[in-house]
Amino acid sequence: MLARGMSILRCFRPCEPELPLSEIARRAGMPKATAHRIIAELVDEGMLERGERGLRLGVALFVLGARVPRQRKFRDLAFPYAEKLYHLTHGSVFVFIADTLGPDAALVDAVRRADRAGVRPEAEEESQISCMAATRILHAYGLTPAPPIRGARGAADEPARVLSQGFAVVRGTTGAVGIAAPVLTSSNAVMGALAVVGPHGRVQPAKAASHVRAMCAAVSGALQRTPELAPVW
């Protein structure tokens, strides 16, 4: 039962706030009646919530996730470098940690650029692009295949090229560009990634890639001096 419940929770992908029951059942590979019964229990426990167009992940999951010590320590380690990267590039900067059981890079924190009104309609696309770039890093380092993400164009980068250049580039449909690089352990395993995203005129890929790689190297050095954060996969 626990495995089935986890398979339902893992149906939700980045930038998919809600899913209908039929799609959850299809992705989880179980009959609708079975999915409906398990979903009802997850809703009762606060792990799922009912939305206007289907089911969404519940607040109880966020509360549990916030207590994960490795995630919190990794955020504390990486965030000062994310702030430096923000000032160097003037783009939105995202901190990701590798999901050891799934295909996605999990967002830990972000330093977002803002206009004078404090609201930017392209913020959602920036999140999508950053996640795709970080997930391509995980793919290149052999963790998992990178799934397609809506809102970004272009086929997945060739893993060998990403490994060779040390970063991944993703371009969005509105001209935004995202660059991600890996945070590595002493054994060259990828622990996570930093990604910077912004308009092409503001974020120049070559220059931004140099800054991202430098900050990731600094985080990697700090990580390697923190053995309790080493991955367990």
CATH number of the domain enclosing 179: 3.30.450.40
What pLDDT, on the 0 to 100 scale, is given for residue 102?
60
Q: Confidence band (pLDDT; 50, 70, 90) for 103?
A: low
- For 18, the domain range is 2-64
Q: Which residue is it, tokens 């990697």?
A: 220
Looking at the structure, tell me whether residues 72 and 120 fall in a common domain: yes
Report pLDDT digits (tens) over 10-45. 888 766 789 999 999 999 999 999 999 999 999 999
* pLDDT number for residue 114: 67
Question: What's the average model confidence in pLDDT over 61-66?
Answer: 80
Q: What letter would DSSP give residue 230?
A: -
Instruction: Give residue-wise pLDDT tens across range 155-164.
Output: 444 688 888 8
Confidence of residue 96 (pLDDT cuts 50, 70, 90): very high
pLDDT at position 140 is: 87
Phi-psi region of 110 (alpha: psi -120 to 50; beta: other; left: phi over 0): beta
Please give the helix or strand (H or E) that residue 177 lies within, else none.
Answer: strand 176-184
The pLDDT of residue 62:
81
Token couple for 94: 């995202």
Give residue 143's pLDDT. 55
Helices in 141-171 by DSSP H: which ranges?
159-165
Domain count, the chain: 2
pLDDT on residue 152: 42
Q: C-alpha angle with apex 98: 97 to 103, nearest 5 degrees?
A: 135
Which of the two residues, 7 and 187, has the higher pLDDT score? 7
Clarify whether residues 80 and 45 are in a common domain: no
Helix (H/G/I), strand (E/B), else coil: 60:
helix
Q: How confident is the model at residue 201 (pLDDT cuts 50, 70, 90)?
A: confident
Based on the domain organization, do 201 and 220 belong to the same domain?
yes
> Mean pLDDT, the chain, as a whole number?
83
What is the CATH number for 16?
Answer: 1.10.10.10
How far is residue 32 CA from its own chain's centroid?
Answer: 29
CA quadruple 9, 120, 156, 182: dihedral, nearest 10: -80
- 78 plus 33 within the same structural domain: no
Q: Does residue 218 share a domain with residue 118?
A: yes
CA distance 25 to 21: 6
**Is the pLDDT assigned to residue 68 strictly greater than 90?**
no
**Cα–Cα distances in angstroms (integers) from residue 87 to residues 10, 83, 131, 133, in the given order:** 35, 6, 21, 20
Output the CA angle 167-172-176, nearest 5 degrees: 80
Contact (CB, 8 A) for 127 and 149: no
Q: What is the pTM for the complete model shown?
A: 0.75
